[in-house]
Structure 1
Amino acid sequence: MEKSHELELTQMRKSVEKLGFSTEKYGDPTLMRFLIARSMDTDKASKMFVQWLKWRSSLVPNGFVVESEVPDQLEARKIFLQGLSKTGYPVMIVQACKHYPPKDHLQFKKFVVYLLDKTIASAVKGGEIGNEKLIGVLDFQNITYRNVDARGLITGFQFLQVMYVLRNMLKRTLFHVSYIRETEQG
């Protein structure tokens, strides 16, 4: 790690402590994600980190979501982990035709956290690496108007951008989507 990054990490830790929180449980890779997301501005990164800690403790007070908190979403069997890609990123398949706008939006939010936590943890064995990425494949086969959930999409992307601090990665890759079309044979 560069000397300048070490200095910024130290400054960020001090800023977070001034705001009344601790970075004790979090390593340099996690804090670097916040610094990168805020263009290495330690004050902005500290505020974002504290916001993330507050959000995380309010939505996920135990530190993780238990399956019994999201039974309706799990019952739909609409999202599957498919192991790791050749580059080591977890691959998630989402069948859009099995998703319907939720009746309980809080349960859906918890499901998104459950899903992202499980997906990222499937690739990060033993600790944070600072480059926690995932691959999502959206299967739109047999989708109908009833399956479209704009609020759910917004929630998912907000969690990725703000709460999982993947804003810079999303900006660079969100619209570089490849479309794979089935071709009829013979």
Structure 2
Amino acid sequence: MGDANDCAHHEPGGDAAGWNGDVERKKVALMRACVEKEDPAAKEVDDQTLRRFLRARDLDINKASSLFLKYLKWRRTQVPKGFISETEIQNELFQDKLFTQGFDKKGRPIAVIMGGRHVYSKRNIDEFRRSVAYGLDKICSRMPPGQEKFLFIGDLQGWSYSNCDIRACVAALDIMQNCYPERLGKVFLIHVPSIFMKVWKIIYPFIDNNTKQKFVFVEGKNLRETLLEDIDESQLPDIYGGKLPLVRVQDCGK
């Protein structure tokens, strides 16, 4: 495989800080020519996906191409069948910690992760990584036309040190940021115990600057009010005062 820097001289002039629709379209076309030369599998990927990788690297074609080519390699090795089967992640699904239901006011699908149900002592890191890809694929499959992002509610009710798993947190961040770039719209962290903040200080450096801005810590007394700013009551999970019951991620679409 050649170096993505081989494409550097093709990039049109202009400051990435002033990008617009035309600039994006031109750069997507140039990026496509670059990555298809390196990996024919890139031909099967749509322009919207390439654009997300470009945006994740501030429209730098070289950096975006490198990230995208790594993603294709990751997809081939970690999701060789094109999907993760539920039999491959039975232990993770048995814990019933990921749910999906409803859409926010921007049309982004909502997912809820119950951090207090993740048990470190029962975790296998390879299975966990597969479960992250499984969950993100499921959430992305619910996106309506024209929507590219999702909203997460991270519920830490009952979270304690038995749930503390820094390696898993870093692995999930790595997959989301590098394999699903520009997919995360917002994260509400709710029912956050004080002991979690010690862990937050450890994992915070692993979050890229753009993603850091998407995390919102919600005080318990303002929980429903804060969630309703982004989510209509009809789409809010019932456990937070809304109308929709939560649906386990494995039951999504059934």
1:115 aligns with 2:131: no
Residue by residue over 1:118-151, the C-alpha shift from the partner in whole angstroms, topping out at 9 and shown as x without a partner, is 01111246xxx4x522211122222221011111
Gaps of 5+ in 1: none
Q: TM (normalized to structure 1)?
A: 0.85
Q: Which residue, 195, 208, 211 being the options, matches 1:170?
A: 211
Q: TM (normalized to structure 2)?
A: 0.64
- Specify whether residues 168 and 52 from structure 1 end up closer, same or farther in structure 2 by C-alpha distance, changes over 3 A only: farther
1:155 aligns with 2:175: no
Residue identity (%): 31
Listed as ranges, the matches of 1:71-150 within 5 Å are 71-101=90-120, 102-124=122-144, 129=146, 131-150=147-166
Deviation of the 1:177 alpha carbon:
2.8
- Could you tell me how far apart the structure 2 residues matched to 1:20 and 1:89 are? 31
- Could you tell me how far apart the structure 2 residues matched to 1:180 and 1:41 are? 41
Question: Residue 139 of structure 2 aligns to which amino acid in structure 1?
Answer: T
- Could you tell me how far apart the structure 2 residues matched to 1:9 and 1:79 are? 34
Structure label with greater radius of gyration: 2
Which residue of structure 1 aligns with residue 15 of structure 2?
A: none
Question: Residue 90 of structure 1 aligns to which amino acid in structure 2?
Answer: P
Residue by residue over 1:45-83, the C-alpha shift from the partner in whole angstroms, topping out at 9 and shown as x without a partner, is 111111100011110001111111100111111111122
Residue by residue over 1:149-182, the C-alpha shift from the partner in whole angstroms, topping out at 9 and shown as x without a partner, is 11111111111111111367514313x3323348
Greater relative CO, 1 or 2 (CA 8 Å, sep 6+): 1
Question: Residue 134 of structure 2 aligns to which amino acid in structure 1?
Answer: Y
Conserved? CA contact 1:70–1:111, under 8 Å = yes
Q: Which range moved further: 90-99 or 165-174? A: 165-174
- Could you tell me how far apart the structure 2 residues matched to 1:163 and 1:142 are? 30
Conserved? CA contact 1:21–1:50, under 8 Å = no
Which residue of structure 2 aligns with residue 56 of structure 1?
A: 75
Question: Residue 94 of structure 2 aligns to which amino acid in structure 1?
Answer: E
RMSD: 2.1
Structure 2 SS opposite 1:23:
helix
Q: Which residue, 32, 44, 51 being the options, matches 2:51?
A: 32
- Could you tell me how far apart the structure 1 residues matched to 2:222 and 2:46 are? 44
- Could you tell me how far apart the structure 2 residues matched to 1:122 and 1:180 are? 29
Gaps of 5+ in 2: 1-19, 183-207, 224-254
Structure 1 consecutive aligned stretches of length 4 or more whose deviation exceeds 6 Å? none
Question: Residue 59 of structure 2 aligns to which amino acid in structure 1?
Answer: M
- Could you tell me how far apart the structure 2 residues matched to 1:96 and 1:27 are? 34
Deviation of the 1:12 alpha carbon:
0.5
